[in-house]
């Protein structure tokens, strides 16, 4: 079966066995089982065209990344990096398995997103470990840097940045989902002294910090062997504690086990549990016979049901939290009565010993009948009609602490009561337990309320008292309750707004602020649904506007601001009610009283603007009220858009934000809130429209300019600027964008440049690998985005703004300084190639424009004109060349290291020109010489350059220098052995001595280290000449430094077992001590010398064996030339060492 193929879209070299070399455009006929047609598109057709498959971009990235990893993975094995080698192997297998799942195409949408999330996480991890570039992604797909704004690209790239915010794009009105954790507990077995009889085990979860139970009980029965009594029913021996650990990342809890036998004994075991992030750690008490399995699950209960269906299918009991969870969900309804039988106090009753008391409890209705199956001992056990407590032997003051749940229906509460019966259990008499008292407590009081929470003392026969503790948690269906309450409030408002308007408004504010509590945060959608679907107050807007304006007008007069704060915090929902009420009125009346409504809104906003314009010094009550208003004001925009045109709303917001005081020395917290309000405005729906954006942009930029000028709140300023430029890129085709760029250039370009210069000139911490903080990088991306969006007209207008050449020069110097900073290698992390390419793209574009100037097109000139232009260019700098010496020597040297012969031939002669100009000015070229030597040494020590580079460098410079009158000095500079021969090279020579000395010490070559340091010692004399502070040496005399060097060298000879040389130096320094009559130091020195003689006689010295190790093979680098003289190694040990390293 053969199949004709279309034209080839990619070349194939055919280097594999039996491979067929194919070029682009070739056609042919091949066996069909060797052909797989794949849809693709071709970009940049021609020599550099790219073939891009039209499959899912994640699959394409996986394929290309795995190919890159495959080669590098093998190199890990060669470099003996076994740990990373094996980890990467596992990750590659995981990615291949996930890739197969994606290719099959049978995944649901949610599962596909989950798989892609896992894939990209593993790709990012592998790229980071291998030092590859990080990949900017959006919705798990790689992004094209040319298709998005630079600011958005920076955000995507910086998602791994240590200081970057992780949830920057989360909508403010979307409640943050609770990260709930639930504990799964399974009882395996229990081995204790009570084996042979059935046991009851009760699990309950305690909060160790507050020392109180936080869960209901999990109750299970064990057989005589200590195993679960009903193994075929998993729900009887395992339970999921649905208690939602959401309050902290690290919390301490305890699982308390109460183990009971039928009658007399109770054993309590405490398992300390630590929940840290997503892990559970358990510390058992000293009870070796207990086997319990624990597992932590994440997410809400419905998600756990979906993810672990098998667990719920086989059966698992649910142990709920004691009371409501931290976050109450709409529709959640519970009507549970918890009762704890705490303790009792009993008399002996005529007996010589204390009683064995048992409490039996049941529920009785108004007719005296026992209510069946309404007493729950705990999850895992079906409800019962009676409860029997355990019995404490001979104890008249027993403490039971038995927690029970009574799930009694609401309709059975009235008239029902709990009855307690107290019996003595005799160990001798085999008959019925003797009832000696009873008591009861009604579930409802005479006024119709349920039994209140708290401790209750019950009266029993003979005035015997028992105490129990009850907790009642009634809750009506909250959505219905909220709707009924709001309907009632607005009904009162309709009946008599004059009398009750203010009280209804206050009640509404209280309900709205109640929903701001995180516990009731999920009821906001209930309120929204009510406003949209059930609210019917068509006339309410008049009273709501009136009362709200009344409060705002009196803000400045109120000494106590608490109530006005509550009103201002509730403004979002107050406006929702106002807007919905007005819409209902317009629908009912055909839009009557429209002008009246607009006037009311204008008057309200005028009061708000007056209130915001008031200035106060420091943190006053007024500034706090202004801050509260600004926090929630942006949420009002979307409501106003339902009634007004977008330009009208934009003007209203512009005027309101423009009324804010511009003084920066007022309350700093207010300034921060003001900027946050600006940020929310930029992120709002109102700002997305180009018409409204052009109206809002000036006031936004005004406040940004003030904060940048004071260098305050830079993080928020960077965020706002980034959002602004994201919109500009998204709407770059719109006509209004050019006008927006005009406004931004006029308002912010100068201050943006100054800000970048400020943040990049800050001192960096030592060893810091990254130059920019997160917000600093955002400023850079904003500048690049602005420069990219500017057109020729914008640049011309910018230049026309400068009235004098001095102003233009200062601006150009400023912007060129910023450009120079941005291209530094340390400006971005090494794996941020995509950001570097953005910067270099701008530089290349600038270079192309510069080169294409008509005045530089020499081929269009006549020969005489061309010669004249070239002469002018060469002479244009003249003496100004000296300003570039020696600053540009280092950068020019780095350029010459690029392995391009043409580039080297052009750049190396520049150094001759620099030497010549300094020789003319100073009579020598010491600056050029010193900088050349330092930089060349630094570059060579980093492994840069090679023998070819050295020969080319010397030959080109020698050819130039031979024509000069100062050729002898120049030739001396280029000579290879110049470090030691001249006095001005002495300092560098000493530095190299100490570098070599440190290397010998690290390698424990102590004798070689001593000989190396002796080179410096030989340069010094026994004189009193003062020496400056140098390297690690303090300021001291030449004699003192030589003495220190002698002692250090003797110490190294001693450690290297070269004691004879140490004795020679001891004699030399002893002569100096004698000449100065320093007998104390002479005495110490003689003892040191004597110890060296002792070591010669007593200690054994092995003759060192030297091994020259040769590396044969093209893959070994040329610098591998090893001489190993470690005396402790044999030839066998040495061979094994190198074989293991380079196998």
Burial 265-282 (b: 16+ CB within 10 A, else e): bebebebebebeeeebee
* pLDDT for residue 1079: 87
For residue range 791-833, what is the model confidence (pLDDT) as tens digits? Answer: 888 888 888 888 888 888 888 888 888 887 777 766 777 777 7
Residue from 377, 376, 380 nearest 237 by CA: 380
Q: What is the pLDDT of residue 1004?
A: 84
Q: Do 950 and 1065 share a structural domain?
A: no
Asked whether residue 458 falls in the same domain as residue 345, the answer is: yes
User: Is the pLDDT score of 876 beyond 70?
Assistant: no
Q: Classify residue 1115: in a domain, yes or no.
A: yes
CATH of residue 243's domain is: 2.60.40
What's residue 573's pLDDT? 93
Inside any domain, residue 480: no
342 vs 338: CA distance, rounded Å = 12
Q: Answer whether residue 665 is part of any domain.
A: no
pLDDT at 769 over 50: no
**DSSP per-residue letters across 508-526:** HHHHHHHTTSGGGGGGHHH
Give the pLDDT band of residue 655 (cuts 50, 70, 90).
Answer: very high
- As a whole number, mean pLDDT of residues 557-569 equals 79
Q: How confident is the model at residue 1141 (pLDDT cuts 50, 70, 90)?
A: low
Q: Which of 142, 168, 201 is the last residue of a domain?
A: 142
* CATH code of the domain containing 1062: 1.25.40.410
Do 1002 and 954 reside in the same domain of the chain?
no
Task: Determine contact, residues 933/939, Cβ cutoff 8 Å.
Answer: no
Reply yes or no on whether the pLDDT at 161 is more than 70.
no
Check residue 465 and give its pLDDT: 43
pLDDT winner (highest mean) among 21-25, 461-465, 868-872, 1080-1084: 1080-1084
Higher pLDDT, 306 or 601: 601
Question: How much is the pTM?
Answer: 0.56
pLDDT band for position 229 (50/70/90)?
A: confident
Instruction: Give 896-911 pLDDT, tens digit per residue.
Output: 887 777 778 878 888 8
Task: Please check whether residues 277 and 366 belong to one and the same domain.
Answer: no
- The CATH number of whichever domain residue 98 belongs to comes to 1.20.1270.350
More confident residue, 1022 or 325: 1022
* Rama region for 684: left / alpha / beta (φ>0; ψ in -120 to 50; rest): beta
pLDDT at 974 (0 to 100): 64
- pLDDT of 768 reads 46
Q: What is the dihedral of CA 989, 990, 991, 997, to 10 degrees?
A: 110
**Is the pLDDT assigned to residue 580 strictly greater than 90?**
yes
With 90 as the cut, is the pLDDT of residue 495 above it?
no
Nearest to 339 by CA among 403, 280, 293: 403
Let me know whether 934 and 1011 are in one domain. Answer: no
Range name among 264-268, 569-573, 936-940 with the lowest pLDDT average: 264-268
Nearest Cα to Cα of residue 830 among 134, 124, 158, 144:
134
pLDDT at 212 (0 to 100):
79
1120 and 1048 fall within a common domain: no
Q: What is the pLDDT of residue 984?
A: 45
Across 94-119, average pLDDT: 84
- At residue 634 the predicted structure's pLDDT band, cuts being 50, 70 and 90, is very high
- Mean pLDDT, residues 41-50: 70
The residues pairing with 295 across neighbouring beta strands, listed in sequence order, are 184
Per-residue pLDDT, averaged over 1044-1066, amounts to 91
| Out of 48-52, 412-416, 423-427, 1038-1042, least confident range | 48-52
**Does 497 have pLDDT greater than 60?**
yes
Q: Among 485-494, 731-740, 893-902, name the one with the lowest average pLDDT.
A: 731-740
Q: Is the pLDDT of residue 654 over 90?
A: yes
**Residue 961, H or E segment:** helix 947-961
Token code pair at residue 114: 């989950």
Q: Does 350 have pLDDT greater than 60?
A: yes
Per-residue CA distances from 27 to 24, 39, 232 (Å): 9, 17, 68
| Domain presence at residue 499 | no
Instruction: Please indicate, yes or no, if residue 813 is contained in any of the structural domains.
Output: yes
- Burial (CB count within 10 angstroms: exposed 0-12, middle 13-18, buried 19+), residue 455: exposed
Q: How far apart are CA 664 and CA 670, in angstroms?
A: 10
The more confident residue out of 922 and 195 is 922
362: β partners: 386, 419
Angle (nearest 5°) at CA 393 between 389 and 396 = 85
CB of 400 within 8 A of CB of 359?
Answer: yes
Structural domain containing residue 425? 335-475
Predicted confidence (pLDDT) at residue 781 exceeds the cutoff of 80? yes
Task: Please check whether residues 886 and 920 belong to one and the same domain.
Answer: yes
Joined together, the tokens standing for residue 90 give 């596992």
The predicted structure's pLDDT at residue 982: 46
Q: Smallest Cα–Cα separation from 2: which of 40, 28, 41, 22?
A: 28
Residue 280 and residue 301 in one domain: yes
604-626 average pLDDT score: 83
CA-CA distance, 568 to 624, in Å (whole number)?
Answer: 11
Percent of the chain with pLDDT over 70: 75
More confident residue, 250 or 778: 778
**Among the three residues 768, 801, 831, which one is the final residue of a domain in this structure?**
831
Same domain as 202, residue 308: yes
Total domains in the chain come to 8
Residues 1005 and 918 in one domain: no
Are 1074 and 1091 in contact, with CB atoms under 8 Å apart?
A: no
Q: Which residue has the tokens 């195993």?
A: 227
Domain membership of residue 664 (yes or no) is: no
Q: State pLDDT tens for residues 510-535.
A: 989 888 887 777 778 888 888 998 89
pLDDT, position 293? 81
1049 — pLDDT class (breaks 50, 70, 90)? very high
C-alpha R_g of the chain: 43
* 1129 pLDDT above the threshold of 80: no
Query: Does 348 lie in the same domain as 449?
Result: yes
Query: What is the average pLDDT across 964-975?
Result: 68
- Is the residue at 579 inside a domain? no
* Structural domain ending residue among the three candidates 939, 958, 978: 978
Contact 536, 587 (CB under 8 A): no
Neighbours of 668 (CB within 10 A): 14
Q: Label residue 471 by pLDDT band (50, 70, 90).
A: very low
Q: Is the pLDDT of residue 1136 over 50?
A: yes
> Between residues 857 and 913, which one has the greater pLDDT?
913
Q: What is the mean pLDDT of residues 1045-1074?
A: 90
pLDDT above 70 for 218 = yes
pLDDT confidence bin for 169, thresholds 50/70/90: very low
> Using one digit for the tens of pLDDT, what is the confidence trace for 741-757?
888 998 888 889 888 88
* Average pLDDT in the chain: 78
**What pLDDT is stored for residue 701 in this prediction?**
92
Tell me the C-alpha distance between 1080 and 405, whole Å.
90
Q: What is the pLDDT of residues 1097-1128, one digit of tens each?
A: 888 877 666 667 776 665 555 545 454 555 54
202 touches 257 (CB < 8 A): yes
**pLDDT of res. 1090:** 92
**293-323 pLDDT per residue, tens:** 888 787 777 778 877 777 777 778 888 888 7
The confidence band for 2, taking pLDDT boundaries of 50, 70 and 90, is low
Residues 421 and 340 in one domain: yes
Residue 867: predicted pLDDT: 64
pLDDT higher at 849 or 577 = 577
Q: Evaluate whether residue 594 is within a structural domain.
A: no
Q: For the segment 707-727, what is each residue's pLDDT rounded down to a tens digit? A: 888 888 888 898 899 888 887
């Amino acid at each position: 079966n053969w199949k004709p193929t279309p034209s080839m879209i990619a070349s194939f070299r055919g280097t594999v066995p039996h491979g067929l070399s194919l070029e682009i455009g070739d056609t042919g006929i091949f066996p069909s089982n060797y052909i797989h047609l794949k849809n693709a598109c071709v970009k940049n057709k021609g020599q550099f065209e790219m073939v891009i498959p039209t499959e899912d971009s994640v699959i394409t990235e996986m394929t290309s990344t795995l190919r890159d990893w495959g080669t590098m993975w093998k190199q890990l094995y060669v470099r003996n990096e076994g740990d990373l080698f094996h980890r990467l192997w596992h990750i590659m297998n995981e990615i291949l398995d996930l890739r197969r799942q994606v290719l099959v195409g049978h995944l649901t949408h949610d599962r596909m997103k989950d798989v892609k999330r896992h894939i990209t996480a593993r790709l990012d991890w592998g790229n980071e470990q291998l030092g590859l570039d990080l990949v900017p992604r959006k919705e798990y797909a790689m992004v094209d840097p040319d298709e998005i704004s630079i600011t958005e690209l920076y955000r995507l790239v910086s998602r791994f940045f240590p200081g970057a915010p992780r949830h920057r794009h989360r909508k403010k009105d979307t409640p943050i989902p609770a990260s709930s954790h639930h504990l799964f507990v399974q009882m395996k077995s229990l081995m204790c002294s009570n084996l042979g009889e059935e046991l009851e085990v009760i699990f309950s979860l305690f909060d160790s910090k507050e020392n109180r139970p936080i869960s209901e009980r999990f109750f299970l029965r064990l057989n005589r062997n200590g195993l679960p009594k009903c193994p075929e029913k998993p729900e009887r021996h395992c339970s999921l504690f649905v208690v939602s650990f959401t309050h902290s990342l690290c919390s301490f809890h305890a699982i308390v086990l109460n183990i009971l036998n039928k009658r007399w004994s109770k054993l309590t075991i405490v398992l300390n549990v630590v929940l840290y992030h997503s892990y559970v750690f358990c510390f058992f008490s000293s009870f070796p016979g207990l086997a319990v399995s624990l597992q932590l699950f994440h997410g809400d209960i419905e998600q756990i049901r979906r993810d672990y269906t098998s667990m719920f299918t086989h059966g698992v009991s649910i142990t709920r939290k004691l009371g409501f969870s931290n976050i109450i969900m709409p529709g959640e309804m519970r009507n549970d009565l918890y009762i704890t039988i705490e303790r009792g106090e009993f008399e002996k009753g005529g007996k010589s010993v204390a009683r064995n008391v048992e409490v039996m409890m049941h529920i009785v209705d108004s007719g005296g009948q026992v209510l069946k199956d309404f007493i729950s001992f705990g999850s895992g056990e079906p409800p019962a009609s009676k409860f029997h407590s355990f019995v404490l032997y001979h104890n008249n003051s027993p403490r039971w602490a038995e927690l029970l749940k009574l799930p009694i229906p609401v309709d059975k509460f009235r008239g029902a009561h709990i009855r307690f019966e107290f019996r003595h259990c005799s160990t001798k008499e085999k008959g019925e337990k003797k009832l000696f008292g009873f008591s009861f407590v009604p579930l409802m009081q005479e006024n119709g309320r349920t039994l209140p929470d708290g401790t209750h003392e019950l009266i029993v026969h003979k005035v015997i008292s028992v105490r129990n503790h009850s907790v009642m948690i009634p809750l009506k269906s909250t959505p219905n309750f909220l709707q009924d309450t709001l309907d009632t409030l607005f009904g009162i408002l309709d009946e008599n707004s004059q009398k009750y308007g203010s009280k209804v408004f206050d009640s509404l504010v209280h309900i709205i602020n109640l929903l701001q509590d995180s516990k009731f945060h999920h009821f906001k959608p209930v309120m929204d649904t009510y406003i949209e679907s059930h609210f019917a107050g068509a006339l309410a807007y008049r009273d709501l506007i009136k009362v709200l304006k009344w409060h705002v007008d009196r803000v400045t007069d109120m000494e106590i601001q608490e109530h006005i704060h509550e009103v201002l915090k509730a403004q979002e929902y107050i406006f929702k009610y106002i807007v919905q009420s007005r819409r209902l009125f317009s629908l009912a009346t055909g839009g009557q009283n429209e002008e009246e409504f607009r006037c009311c809104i204008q008057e309200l906003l005028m009061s708000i603007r007056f209130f915001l314009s008031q200035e106060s010094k420091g943190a006053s009550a007024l500034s706090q009220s202004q801050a509260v208003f600004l926090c929630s004001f942006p949420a009002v925009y979307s409501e106003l858009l339902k009634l007004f045109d977008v330009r009208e709303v934009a003007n209203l917001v512009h005027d309101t934000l423009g009324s804010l005081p511009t003084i920066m020395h007022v309350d700093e917290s207010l300034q921060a809130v003001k900027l946050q309000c600006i940020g929310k405005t930029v992120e709002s729906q109102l700002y997305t429209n180009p018409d409204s954006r052009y109206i809002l942009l000036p006031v936004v930029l005004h406040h940004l300019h003030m904060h940048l000028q004071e260098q305050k709140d830079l993080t928020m300023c960077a965020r706002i600027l980034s959002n602004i430029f994201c919109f500009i890129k998204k709407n770059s085709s719109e006509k209004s964008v050019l006008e927006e760029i005009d406004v931004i250039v006029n308002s912010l370009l100068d201050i943006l440049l100054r800000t970048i210069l400020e943040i990049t000139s800050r001192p960096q911490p030592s060893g810091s690998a990254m130059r920019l903080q997160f917000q600093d990088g955002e400023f850079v991306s904003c500048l690049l985005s602005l420069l990219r969006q500017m057109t020729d007209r914008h640049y011309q207008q910018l230049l026309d703004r400068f009235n004098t050449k001095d102003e233009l020069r200062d601006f150009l110097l400023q912007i060129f300084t910023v450009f120079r900073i941005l291209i530094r290698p340390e400006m971005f992390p090494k794996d941020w190639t995509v950001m570097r390419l953005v910067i270099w793209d701008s530089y290349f574009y600038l270079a192309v424009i510069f080169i294409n100037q008509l005045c530089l097109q020499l081929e269009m000139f006549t020969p005489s004109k061309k010669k004249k232009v070239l002469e002018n260019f060469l002479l244009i700098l003249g003496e100004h060349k000296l300003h570039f010496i020696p600053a540009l020597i280092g950068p020019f040297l780095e350029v010459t290291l690029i392995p391009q012969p043409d580039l080297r031939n052009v750049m190396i002669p520049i150094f001759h020109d620099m030497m010549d100009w300094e020789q003319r000015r100073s009579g020598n070229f010491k600056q050029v010489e010193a900088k050349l030597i330092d930089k060349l040494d630094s570059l060579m020590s980093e492994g840069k350059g090679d023998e070819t580079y050295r020969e080319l460098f010397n030959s080109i410079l020698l050819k130039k220098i031979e024509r000069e009158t100062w050729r002898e000095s120049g030739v001396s500079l280029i000579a290879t052995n110049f470090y030691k021969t001249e006095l001005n090279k002495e300092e560098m020579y000493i530095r190299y001595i100490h570098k070599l000395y440190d290397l010998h010490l690290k390698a424990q070559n102590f004798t070689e280290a001593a000989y190396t340091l002796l080179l410096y010692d030989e340069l010094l004399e026994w004189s009193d000449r003062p020496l400056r502070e140098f390297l690690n040496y303090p300021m001291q005399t030449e004699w003192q430094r030589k003495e220190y060097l002698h002692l250090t060298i003797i110490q190294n000879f001693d450690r290297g077992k070269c004691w004879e040389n140490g004795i020679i130096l001891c004699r030399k320094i002893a002569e100096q001590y004698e000449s100065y009559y320093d007998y104390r130091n002479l005495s110490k020195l003689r003892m040191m010398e004597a110890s060296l003689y002792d070591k010669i006689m007593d200690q054994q010295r092995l003759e060192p064996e030297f091994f020259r190790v040769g590396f044969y093979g093209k893959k070994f680098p040329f610098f591998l030339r090893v001489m190993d003289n470690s005396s402790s190694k044999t030839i066998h040990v040495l061979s094994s060492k190198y074989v293991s390293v380079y196998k």
